[in-house]
Amino acid sequence: MKHPVLIANRGEIAIRIAKTCRALGFPTVGVYSEADRFSEHLRYCDRSYFVGAAPPQESYLNVERVLAAAKASGARFVHPGYGFLSERPHFVEACQKEGLIFVGPSAESMRLMGDKIQARSTVDRLKVPRVPGSPGAVQSAAEAKRFASEIGYPILLKAAAGGGGKGMRRVDAEADLASAFEGATREALGAFGDGSMYVEKLILEPHHVEIQVFGDGKGGVIHLGERECSIQRRHQKVWEESPSPILNQYPKTRKAMQDAAVKIAQHVHYAGAGTFEFIVDAFGNFYFLEMNTRLQVEHPVTEWVTGVDLVAWQLLLAEGNWTLPPIPEVQGSAIEVRLYAEDPITFLPAPGALGKIHLPSGAFVRTDSAFTGPGEVSVHYDPMISKISVWAPTRIEAVARLRAALDEACVQPPLKADGTVQGSLRTNLSFLKRLVRNEDVIQGNTTTDLIPKHPELTRPSADPISLEAALAASLTQILRQNQDFTPTETVPERTWTTVTRREGLRR
């Protein structure tokens, strides 16, 4: 009899974790906020507990309420997923105090590696190269200016407590530093409650490559290959793949990075899944960036090429009496893209009501999503709609498979009876379809500045209209003007409206 696992998360990652729990026979406990009463992830959990209002601080980030749910449910394990409480050492300690097993690293190794400034001194001691920068957090623009003139422009200002591009600014010249510092600090304060910054040199033509490791907590660590996540917008990943195209050119760099990652993880007696992020330049030099002490969003890429269920390993390790398997062989090529509710041109978040969703399927196509039909991409949380990943024996075949998969996908906001859009949902699907057709992407020339280098990726399509499309538009307009058609399906309303009505009918 397995002990229950509380999944302290929501959305696609809660579903992904629950699926493995169920496959392994662990009972599952879900948590939900007010905004998630009808969310898909609850249907993957045996029982669910309400943890508070929609804002994360009130619910998914509220340690007391999440732990109360765990205690009430009789859960033995707490899986944090990614984001939310996944990288908070005080949460790990709070779990221990309650007699719960946190599925992840110890609070101590989380502190050592999760804090960027602490991690850098650990990494320096182990002689792993990293990007030149300020040794500690800087508190003022003047201090930042001093370091910047030492290492030379362009530089990057990064929030010490940050992640996901929040509190980050590129500065090309001294004149811009003061205002960039002010903006980044304010953003970091708002997002993480900590405005300290560090300064580092900006590497030009960089590739973002990360090494997946898995440790047994007793000093045993293996790597599971790499993921290249160079293609980013707004400093957030949108395309991730393994193996890395740049490391295919520099196999020695790959080996050195794997050795470095394993060495650091061994040093901190790392337990569970962790990721070391590196910058690799055009010449195969690599620099340590940071460690993520959790399961990554893009972990399916590693699962495709290694055949390992990373969540299963995490759970089995947490349960005890588990031996670290040998290093799995990397086979074939896998690519993941992130389908977001965002404007395909400005990449600004555009959440809202969802009218129709069809995600691709088929041979070697995987989708990780929390949406199956009409619903709502909440403004309160990350606006990711789905991860779409594919595997193929070679990279070129994987790109082709992804192209076909993306063409199959469809996400639309609901329409009112008059055919106009209801709500504000937009998606980056059209951008992803252009991205997968980009020559540099197909060739594997994946640098972090790929998107700004190709303005055609973020330009609305200006294809001449086809005869078929013209007929479709004409017909739709004629039928609309005649007003003699009724919508074939009722327009989805906001969930609460429907529910209240249903409740009213029941009485």
Partner 1 sequence: MSGLKSQVGPFKFQWKTVPHANEGVAEVEVEPGKTISVAWRKDAQGICLLLPNGSFGFDLQGEPDDEGRMLYHLTQRGTSHEWNSVLPIVGDVKAQGTREGSQNKALRVRAQMPGKILRVMVESGQDIVKDQPILVMEAMKMENEIRAIQSGKVGQIKVAVGQTVETGADLILIQN
What are the residue numbers of the active site?
294
Task: Decide: is 494 part of the binding site for partner 1 (CB under 8 A).
Answer: no
Applying CB under 8 A, the span of 109-117, 139-147, 313-321, 469-477 interacting with partner 1 comes to 469-477
Site for partner 1 in 435-454 (CB under 8 A): 437
Site for partner 1 in 115-134 (CB under 8 A): none
Task: Decide: is 352 part of the binding site for partner 1 (CB under 8 A).
Answer: yes
We find the least distance from the C-beta atom of residue 185 to partner 1, in angstroms, to be 11
**Member of 149, 469, 496, 497 binding partner 1 (CB under 8 A):** 469
We find the least distance from the C-beta atom of residue 413 to partner 1, in angstroms, to be 7
- Cβ(216)–Cβ(149) below 8 Å: no
Angle, CA of 88, 89 and 90, to the nearest 5°: 90
Strands, sheet with 365-369, edge to edge from the N-terminal-most edge strand: 286-292, 271-280, 207-216, 221-228, 239-242, 333-340, 384-392, 365-369
We find the least distance from the C-beta atom of residue 349 to partner 1, in angstroms, to be 5
Task: Decide: is 54 part of the binding site for partner 1 (CB under 8 A).
Answer: no
Task: Decide: is 232 part of the binding site for partner 1 (CB under 8 A).
Answer: no
For partner 1 (CB under 8 A), the number of binding residues is 65
Task: Decide: is 486 part of the binding site for partner 1 (CB under 8 A).
Answer: yes
Site for partner 1 in 187-216 (CB under 8 A): 187, 190-191
- Cβ(6)–Cβ(31) below 8 Å: yes
Q: Which DSSP string do the residues of 364-388 spell out, in sequence order?
A: TEEEEES-SSSEEE-TTS--EEEEE
3-state secondary structure of 26: coil
74 forms bridges with which residues in the sheet? none
| Residue of 379, 382, 404, 381 lying closest to 392 (CA atoms) | 404
* Residue number, 133 or 355, with CB nearest to partner 1: 355
We find the least distance from the C-beta atom of residue 176 to partner 1, in angstroms, to be 13
Task: Decide: is 166 part of the binding site for partner 1 (CB under 8 A).
Answer: yes
Beta carbons within 10 angstroms of residue 266's beta carbon: 16
* Residue number, 412 or 498, with CB nearest to partner 1: 412
Applying CB under 8 A, the span of 217-225, 294-302, 311-319, 465-473 interacting with partner 1 comes to 465-473
Beta carbons within 10 angstroms of residue 373's beta carbon: 11
Task: Decide: is 323 part of the binding site for partner 1 (CB under 8 A).
Answer: no
**Member of 74, 135, 152, 183 binding partner 1 (CB under 8 A):** 183
**Member of 127, 482, 506, 507 binding partner 1 (CB under 8 A):** 482
* Residue number, 16 or 434, with CB nearest to partner 1: 434
| Residue of 123, 439, 140 lying closest to 287 (CA atoms) | 123
**Member of 329, 439, 463, 503 binding partner 1 (CB under 8 A):** 463
- Cβ(12)–Cβ(370) below 8 Å: yes
Q: Which DSSP string do the residues of 453-499 spell out, in sequence order?
A: H-GGGGS---PPPPHHHHHHHHHHHHHHHHT----SSPPP--HHHHH
Applying CB under 8 A, the span of 19-27, 194-202, 309-317, 478-486 interacting with partner 1 comes to 478-486
As given in the structure block, the two tokens for residue 390 are 């594919």
Q: Write the CB contacts of 439 (distance below 8 Å, at least 6 apart in sequence).
A: none
We find the least distance from the C-beta atom of residue 244 to partner 1, in angstroms, to be 26
Give me the half-sphere count of Cα atoms (radius 13 Å) on the Cβ side of residue 157. Answer: 34
We find the least distance from the C-beta atom of residue 419 to partner 1, in angstroms, to be 4
Angle, CA of 273, 168 and 450, to the nearest 5°: 80
We find the least distance from the C-beta atom of residue 265 to partner 1, in angstroms, to be 30
We find the least distance from the C-beta atom of residue 193 to partner 1, in angstroms, to be 11
| Residue of 295, 272, 279 lying closest to 387 (CA atoms) | 295
Q: Which DSSP string do the residues of 164-200 spell out, in sequence order?
A: TTEEEEEE-SHHHHHHHHHHHHHHHHHHHS---EEEE
* Residue number, 1 or 465, with CB nearest to partner 1: 465
Q: Is the peptide bond before 56 cis (omega within 30 degrees of 0)?
A: no
Task: Decide: is 263 part of the binding site for partner 1 (CB under 8 A).
Answer: no
As given in the structure block, the two tokens for residue 261 are 């990652």
Task: Decide: is 346 part of the binding site for partner 1 (CB under 8 A).
Answer: yes
- In the complex, the residues that contact partner 1 under the rule CB under 8 A are 165-166, 183, 186-187, 190-191, 234, 343, 346, 348-352, 355-356, 379, 383, 406-408, 410, 412-415, 418-421, 424, 430, 433-434, 437, 460-461, 463-482, 484-489, 491
